[in-house]
Homo-oligomer: A and B are copies of this chain.
Protein backbone atom coordinates (compact mmCIF):
# COMPACT_ATOMS: atom_id res chain seq x y z
CA UNK A 1 0.00 0.00 0.00
CA UNK A 2 1.28 3.45 -0.80
CA UNK A 3 2.62 5.68 1.94
CA UNK A 4 0.35 8.62 2.42
CA UNK A 5 -2.77 6.65 1.65
CA UNK A 6 -5.67 7.59 3.88
CA UNK A 7 -7.45 5.09 6.01
CA UNK A 8 -11.19 5.57 6.17
CA UNK A 9 -13.02 8.70 5.08
CA UNK A 10 -12.05 10.60 1.98
CA UNK A 11 -10.75 13.93 0.90
CA UNK A 12 -12.79 17.05 1.42
CA UNK A 13 -14.30 18.55 -1.72
CA UNK A 14 -11.96 21.50 -1.72
CA UNK A 15 -13.79 24.49 -3.02
CA UNK A 16 -12.16 27.89 -3.41
CA UNK A 17 -10.06 28.92 -0.46
CA UNK A 18 -11.83 31.43 1.70
CA UNK A 19 -10.46 34.73 2.92
CA UNK A 20 -8.78 34.68 6.30
CA UNK A 21 -7.91 37.24 8.90
CA UNK A 22 -4.37 37.12 7.48
CA UNK A 23 -5.63 38.41 4.13
CA UNK A 24 -7.35 41.30 5.81
CA UNK A 25 -4.25 42.13 7.84
CA UNK A 26 -2.01 42.01 4.80
CA UNK A 27 -4.31 44.28 2.84
CA UNK A 28 -4.26 46.83 5.65
CA UNK A 29 -0.59 46.37 6.56
CA UNK A 30 -1.65 45.67 10.11
CA UNK A 31 -1.02 42.73 12.39
CA UNK A 32 -3.65 40.03 12.62
CA UNK A 33 -3.85 40.83 16.30
CA UNK A 34 -5.09 44.31 15.56
CA UNK A 35 -7.56 43.07 12.98
CA UNK A 36 -8.91 40.51 15.41
CA UNK A 37 -9.18 43.03 18.22
CA UNK A 38 -10.75 45.60 15.97
CA UNK A 39 -13.42 43.21 14.78
CA UNK A 40 -14.09 41.93 18.27
CA UNK A 41 -14.61 45.37 19.71
CA UNK A 42 -11.64 45.64 22.02
CA UNK A 43 -11.01 49.16 23.27
CA UNK A 44 -7.30 49.29 22.44
CA UNK A 45 -7.86 49.95 18.76
CA UNK A 46 -7.97 53.44 17.29
CA UNK A 47 -11.30 54.57 16.00
CA UNK A 48 -9.84 55.30 12.61
CA UNK A 49 -8.21 51.90 12.41
CA UNK A 50 -11.36 50.15 13.50
CA UNK A 51 -13.26 51.78 10.66
CA UNK A 52 -10.66 50.79 8.10
CA UNK A 53 -10.61 47.22 9.33
CA UNK A 54 -14.37 46.93 9.20
CA UNK A 55 -14.42 48.37 5.71
CA UNK A 56 -11.75 46.05 4.30
CA UNK A 57 -13.18 42.99 6.03
CA UNK A 58 -16.52 43.78 4.51
CA UNK A 59 -15.06 44.41 1.07
CA UNK A 60 -13.04 41.21 1.07
CA UNK A 61 -15.98 39.23 2.40
CA UNK A 62 -14.06 38.04 5.42
CA UNK A 63 -15.86 35.58 7.68
CA UNK A 64 -14.02 34.22 10.69
CA UNK A 65 -13.57 30.48 10.49
CA UNK A 66 -15.94 29.25 13.13
CA UNK A 67 -13.92 26.14 13.85
CA UNK A 68 -10.78 28.11 14.56
CA UNK A 69 -12.75 30.45 16.77
CA UNK A 70 -14.35 27.56 18.57
CA UNK A 71 -11.07 25.79 19.05
CA UNK A 72 -9.46 28.70 20.78
CA UNK A 73 -12.40 30.25 22.62
CA UNK A 74 -13.92 26.92 23.69
CA UNK A 75 -17.33 28.36 22.92
CA UNK A 76 -19.32 27.05 20.01
CA UNK A 77 -22.53 29.03 20.07
CA UNK A 78 -24.21 25.72 19.41
CA UNK A 79 -26.88 24.12 21.53
CA UNK A 80 -27.61 20.41 21.34
CA UNK A 81 -31.13 19.08 21.19
CA UNK A 82 -31.33 15.31 21.15
CA UNK A 83 -34.56 13.73 20.06
CA UNK A 84 -35.45 10.24 21.07
CA UNK A 85 -35.92 8.01 18.07
CA UNK A 86 -38.69 5.74 19.19
CA UNK A 87 -39.76 4.25 15.90
CA UNK A 88 -43.38 4.51 16.97
CA UNK A 89 -43.24 7.95 18.48
CA UNK A 90 -40.37 9.58 16.67
CA UNK A 91 -41.27 13.15 17.02
CA UNK A 92 -44.27 14.95 18.25
CA UNK A 93 -45.99 17.78 16.39
CA UNK A 94 -45.91 19.65 19.66
CA UNK A 95 -42.18 19.61 19.15
CA UNK A 96 -42.49 21.76 16.05
CA UNK A 97 -44.19 24.41 18.09
CA UNK A 98 -41.51 24.42 20.76
CA UNK A 99 -38.87 24.41 18.08
CA UNK A 100 -40.30 27.50 16.47
CA UNK A 101 -39.77 29.39 19.70
CA UNK A 102 -36.34 27.90 20.30
CA UNK A 103 -35.09 28.67 16.81
CA UNK A 104 -36.32 32.21 16.86
CA UNK A 105 -34.66 32.89 20.17
CA UNK A 106 -31.45 31.16 19.16
CA UNK A 107 -31.11 33.13 15.97
CA UNK A 108 -31.71 36.39 17.77
CA UNK A 109 -28.71 35.62 20.00
CA UNK A 110 -26.60 34.16 17.22
CA UNK A 111 -26.83 30.61 18.39
CA UNK A 112 -27.56 27.56 16.28
CA UNK A 113 -29.34 24.39 17.26
CA UNK A 114 -27.64 21.07 16.65
CA UNK A 115 -30.28 18.43 16.27
CA UNK A 116 -29.64 14.73 16.62
CA UNK A 117 -31.75 11.69 17.25
CA UNK A 118 -30.91 8.34 18.69
CA UNK A 119 -32.75 5.26 19.84
CA UNK A 120 -33.43 4.98 23.56
CA UNK A 121 -30.69 2.37 24.01
CA UNK A 122 -27.98 4.57 22.55
CA UNK A 123 -29.41 7.92 23.51
CA UNK A 124 -26.99 8.56 26.36
CA UNK A 125 -23.98 7.95 24.15
CA UNK A 126 -25.01 10.96 22.11
CA UNK A 127 -25.02 13.09 25.23
CA UNK A 128 -21.71 11.60 26.21
CA UNK A 129 -20.27 12.52 22.86
CA UNK A 130 -21.60 16.08 22.92
CA UNK A 131 -20.34 16.60 26.44
CA UNK A 132 -16.84 15.48 25.55
CA UNK A 133 -16.14 16.51 22.00
CA UNK A 134 -16.51 20.27 22.43
CA UNK A 135 -19.16 20.65 19.76
CA UNK A 136 -21.87 22.33 21.84
CA UNK A 137 -22.14 24.76 24.75
CA UNK A 138 -25.29 23.38 26.30
CA UNK A 139 -28.30 21.13 26.03
CA UNK A 140 -32.05 21.29 25.71
CA UNK A 141 -33.78 18.42 27.46
CA UNK A 142 -37.27 17.60 26.36
CA UNK A 143 -40.13 15.64 27.86
CA UNK A 144 -38.52 14.65 31.14
CA UNK A 145 -39.41 11.55 33.11
CA UNK A 146 -39.17 11.26 36.86
CA UNK A 147 -35.46 11.04 37.81
CA UNK A 148 -34.61 11.51 34.18
CA UNK A 149 -31.24 9.98 33.34
CA UNK A 150 -30.39 12.81 30.98
CA UNK A 151 -30.77 15.27 33.82
CA UNK A 152 -28.61 13.10 36.08
CA UNK A 153 -25.96 12.81 33.41
CA UNK A 154 -25.82 16.51 32.65
CA UNK A 155 -25.79 17.50 36.31
CA UNK A 156 -22.88 15.12 36.77
CA UNK A 157 -21.11 16.47 33.70
CA UNK A 158 -21.65 20.03 34.89
CA UNK A 159 -22.77 21.34 31.54
CA UNK A 160 -25.37 24.06 31.00
CA UNK A 161 -28.78 22.64 30.21
CA UNK A 162 -32.43 23.57 30.46
CA UNK A 163 -35.28 21.15 30.81
CA UNK A 164 -38.56 21.82 29.11
CA UNK A 165 -40.70 20.35 31.85
CA UNK A 166 -39.42 19.19 35.21
CA UNK A 167 -38.88 16.24 37.43
CA UNK A 168 -38.54 16.11 41.21
CA UNK A 169 -35.16 17.85 41.29
CA UNK A 170 -36.12 21.32 40.14
CA UNK A 171 -33.91 23.01 42.70
CA UNK A 172 -30.83 21.65 40.99
CA UNK A 173 -31.23 22.79 37.40
CA UNK A 174 -32.82 25.28 35.02
CA UNK A 175 -36.24 24.48 33.62
CA UNK A 176 -39.19 26.02 31.81
CA UNK A 177 -42.64 24.60 32.36
CA UNK A 178 -46.28 25.37 32.75
CA UNK A 179 -48.13 24.54 35.92
CA UNK A 180 -49.38 21.15 34.82
CA UNK A 181 -50.68 20.27 38.25
CA UNK A 182 -52.48 23.55 38.85
CA UNK A 183 -54.02 23.71 35.42
CA UNK A 184 -55.45 20.23 35.52
CA UNK A 185 -56.58 20.60 39.09
CA UNK A 186 -58.56 23.65 38.06
CA UNK A 187 -60.02 22.01 34.99
CA UNK A 188 -61.16 19.02 36.96
CA UNK A 189 -62.60 21.16 39.76
CA UNK A 190 -64.47 23.18 37.20
CA UNK A 191 -66.08 20.12 35.64
CA UNK A 192 -67.03 18.77 39.04
CA UNK A 193 -68.42 22.13 40.12
CA UNK A 194 -70.64 22.04 37.07
CA UNK A 195 -72.19 18.82 38.13
CA UNK A 196 -70.20 16.30 36.18
CA UNK A 197 -69.92 13.08 38.15
CA UNK A 198 -68.45 10.74 35.56
CA UNK A 199 -65.46 12.16 33.78
CA UNK A 200 -63.13 10.59 31.24
CA UNK A 201 -59.56 11.84 31.25
CA UNK A 202 -57.61 11.20 28.08
CA UNK A 203 -54.07 11.68 29.24
CA UNK A 204 -50.66 11.27 27.67
CA UNK A 205 -48.01 8.77 28.59
CA UNK A 206 -47.59 8.96 32.35
CA UNK A 207 -44.00 7.86 32.06
CA UNK A 208 -43.48 11.55 31.38
CA UNK A 209 -43.82 13.93 34.26
CA UNK A 210 -46.14 16.32 32.46
CA UNK A 211 -48.77 13.57 32.20
CA UNK A 212 -48.00 12.13 35.62
CA UNK A 213 -48.48 15.47 37.35
CA UNK A 214 -51.69 16.06 35.43
CA UNK A 215 -53.02 12.74 36.56
CA UNK A 216 -52.18 13.45 40.19
CA UNK A 217 -53.88 16.83 39.92
CA UNK A 218 -57.07 15.31 38.60
CA UNK A 219 -57.04 12.68 41.33
CA UNK A 220 -56.60 15.39 43.97
CA UNK A 221 -59.39 17.49 42.46
CA UNK A 222 -61.72 14.53 42.62
CA UNK A 223 -60.84 13.98 46.24
CA UNK A 224 -61.14 17.65 47.13
CA UNK A 225 -64.47 17.77 45.30
CA UNK A 226 -65.76 15.04 47.55
CA UNK A 227 -66.22 12.49 44.80
CA UNK A 228 -65.11 8.85 44.83
CA UNK A 229 -61.91 8.22 42.86
CA UNK A 230 -63.67 6.12 40.25
CA UNK A 231 -65.57 9.20 39.15
CA UNK A 232 -62.69 9.78 36.81
CA UNK A 233 -61.54 7.14 34.44
CA UNK A 234 -58.11 7.72 32.95
CA UNK A 235 -57.25 6.66 29.42
CA UNK A 236 -53.61 6.85 28.46
CA UNK A 237 -52.15 7.06 25.06
CA UNK A 238 -48.50 6.19 24.93
CA UNK A 239 -48.40 8.46 21.95
CA UNK A 240 -49.82 11.92 22.59
CA UNK A 241 -51.50 11.88 19.20
CA UNK A 242 -52.22 9.03 16.91
CA UNK A 243 -55.19 6.87 17.76
CA UNK A 244 -55.58 8.49 21.15
CA UNK A 245 -58.27 10.98 20.34
CA UNK A 246 -60.72 8.96 18.39
CA UNK A 247 -60.29 5.47 19.77
CA UNK A 248 -59.99 6.44 23.40
CA UNK A 249 -62.96 8.76 23.15
CA UNK A 250 -65.03 5.99 21.62
CA UNK A 251 -63.90 3.71 24.41
CA UNK A 252 -64.68 6.33 27.04
CA UNK A 253 -68.16 6.87 25.64
CA UNK A 254 -68.96 3.17 25.92
CA UNK A 255 -69.66 4.09 29.53
CA UNK A 256 -73.14 5.63 29.25
CA UNK A 257 -72.69 7.64 32.45
CA UNK A 258 -69.81 9.76 31.15
CA UNK A 259 -70.77 13.41 30.69
CA UNK A 260 -67.42 15.10 30.41
CA UNK A 261 -64.10 14.40 28.74
CA UNK A 262 -60.85 16.05 29.72
CA UNK A 263 -58.10 15.97 27.13
CA UNK A 264 -54.39 16.47 27.54
CA UNK A 265 -54.02 17.99 24.10
CA UNK A 266 -56.14 19.77 21.52
CA UNK A 267 -54.90 17.26 18.96
CA UNK A 268 -56.69 14.54 20.88
CA UNK A 269 -59.67 16.77 21.59
CA UNK A 270 -60.18 17.51 17.91
CA UNK A 271 -60.03 13.86 16.99
CA UNK A 272 -62.18 12.97 19.94
CA UNK A 273 -64.76 15.52 18.93
CA UNK A 274 -65.46 13.50 15.80
CA UNK A 275 -66.08 10.45 17.98
CA UNK A 276 -68.42 12.43 20.23
CA UNK A 277 -70.39 13.67 17.24
CA UNK A 278 -70.54 10.21 15.74
CA UNK A 279 -71.71 8.69 19.01
CA UNK A 280 -74.76 10.88 18.97
CA UNK A 281 -74.17 11.85 22.59
CA UNK A 282 -75.00 15.50 22.72
CA UNK A 283 -74.53 16.25 26.37
CA UNK A 284 -70.82 15.68 26.64
CA UNK A 285 -68.60 18.49 27.89
CA UNK A 286 -65.11 18.81 26.50
CA UNK A 287 -62.20 20.42 28.31
CA UNK A 288 -58.62 20.42 27.17
CA UNK A 289 -55.12 21.75 27.52
CA UNK A 290 -54.48 24.08 24.59
CA UNK A 291 -50.80 24.41 23.75
CA UNK A 292 -51.50 26.94 21.04
CA UNK A 293 -50.51 24.57 18.24
CA UNK A 294 -50.05 27.02 15.47
CA UNK A 295 -51.16 24.78 12.64
CA UNK A 296 -54.25 23.33 14.21
CA UNK A 297 -57.44 25.19 13.45
CA UNK A 298 -59.76 25.24 16.43
CA UNK A 299 -62.30 27.60 14.88
CA UNK A 300 -64.66 24.77 13.89
CA UNK A 301 -64.90 24.06 17.59
CA UNK A 302 -65.26 27.63 18.75
CA UNK A 303 -67.08 27.83 22.04
CA UNK A 304 -67.14 24.06 22.42
CA UNK A 305 -63.88 23.44 24.23
CA UNK A 306 -63.10 24.72 27.67
CA UNK A 307 -59.39 25.31 27.56
CA UNK A 308 -56.33 26.14 29.58
CA UNK A 309 -54.14 27.99 27.13
CA UNK A 310 -50.40 28.33 27.08
CA UNK A 311 -48.06 28.85 24.19
CA UNK A 312 -45.51 26.14 23.55
CA UNK A 313 -43.75 28.54 21.24
CA UNK A 314 -43.33 30.98 24.08
CA UNK A 315 -42.01 28.16 26.21
CA UNK A 316 -39.45 27.33 23.55
CA UNK A 317 -38.28 30.92 23.57
CA UNK A 318 -37.95 30.86 27.34
CA UNK A 319 -35.94 27.64 27.20
CA UNK A 320 -33.32 29.01 24.84
CA UNK A 321 -33.20 32.34 26.66
CA UNK A 322 -32.44 30.69 29.99
CA UNK A 323 -29.94 28.36 28.37
CA UNK A 324 -28.01 31.19 26.74
CA UNK A 325 -28.06 33.06 30.01
CA UNK A 326 -26.53 30.04 31.72
CA UNK A 327 -23.83 29.81 29.06
CA UNK A 328 -22.87 33.42 29.65
CA UNK A 329 -23.11 33.69 33.39
CA UNK A 330 -21.98 30.59 35.20
CA UNK A 331 -23.97 29.60 38.22
CA UNK A 332 -27.10 27.66 39.01
CA UNK A 333 -29.91 27.31 36.49
CA UNK A 334 -33.19 29.07 37.04
CA UNK A 335 -36.72 27.76 36.84
CA UNK A 336 -39.32 29.61 34.78
CA UNK A 337 -43.02 28.93 35.08
CA UNK A 338 -45.00 29.96 32.01
CA UNK A 339 -48.41 31.47 32.73
CA UNK A 340 -51.60 29.90 31.45
CA UNK A 341 -54.97 31.51 30.80
CA UNK A 342 -58.36 29.96 31.30
CA UNK A 343 -60.96 30.01 28.55
CA UNK A 344 -64.41 28.84 29.43
CA UNK A 345 -66.55 27.59 26.57
CA UNK A 346 -69.84 29.47 26.19
CA UNK A 347 -71.31 26.37 27.69
CA UNK A 348 -69.13 23.64 29.01
CA UNK A 349 -71.37 21.25 27.15
CA UNK A 350 -69.92 21.00 23.69
CA UNK A 351 -73.17 21.08 21.82
CA UNK A 352 -75.21 23.68 23.64
CA UNK A 353 -73.83 27.04 22.66
CA UNK A 354 -74.67 30.49 23.93
CA UNK A 355 -76.16 29.11 27.08
CA UNK A 356 -75.65 31.75 29.71
CA UNK A 357 -72.95 30.88 32.19
CA UNK A 358 -74.58 30.20 35.56
CA UNK A 359 -73.36 32.42 38.35
CA UNK A 360 -71.81 29.54 40.19
CA UNK A 361 -69.62 28.89 37.21
CA UNK A 362 -68.49 32.51 37.05
CA UNK A 363 -67.61 32.35 40.66
CA UNK A 364 -65.57 29.27 40.03
CA UNK A 365 -63.88 30.96 37.17
CA UNK A 366 -62.92 33.90 39.32
CA UNK A 367 -61.57 31.66 41.98
CA UNK A 368 -59.50 29.88 39.38
CA UNK A 369 -57.86 33.05 38.17
CA UNK A 370 -56.80 35.06 41.17
CA UNK A 371 -55.73 38.05 39.08
Residue ranges of A at the interface with B (Cβ–Cβ < 8 Å): 1, 3, 5-10, 12-16, 18, 37, 40-44, 61, 63-68, 70-71, 73-76, 78, 83, 85, 90-93, 95-96, 99-100, 103-104, 106-107, 112-118, 126, 129, 132-135, 157-160, 239, 241-247, 267, 271, 273-275, 277, 294-297, 299-300, 313, 327-330
Contact = CB atoms under 8 A, between A and B. Distances in A.
Nearest to A81: B115
Number of copies: 2
A91 B85 contact: no
A104 B126 CA distance: 13
Nearest to A19: B132
A16 B299 contact: no
Nearest to A64: B133
A225 to B, nearest CB: 32
A277 B273 CA distance: 12
A140 to B, nearest CB: 11
A311 to B, nearest CB: 12
B297 A243 contact: yes
B13 A330 contact: yes
12 contacts: A6-B42, A16-B158, A67-B76, A67-B134, A91-B96, A92-B96, A103-B115, A113-B115, A242-B297, A274-B274, A275-B300, A277-B277
Contacts of A61: 132
A85 B132 CA distance: 32
B134 A66 contact: yes
A239 B78 CA distance: 30
Q: Give the most central of A41, A64, A116: most B CB within 10 Å.
A: A116
A131 to B, nearest CB: 9
B12 A73 contact: yes
Contacts of A92: 96, 295
A60 B76 CA distance: 24
B63 A133 contact: yes
A204 B117 CA distance: 30
A328 B12 CA distance: 7
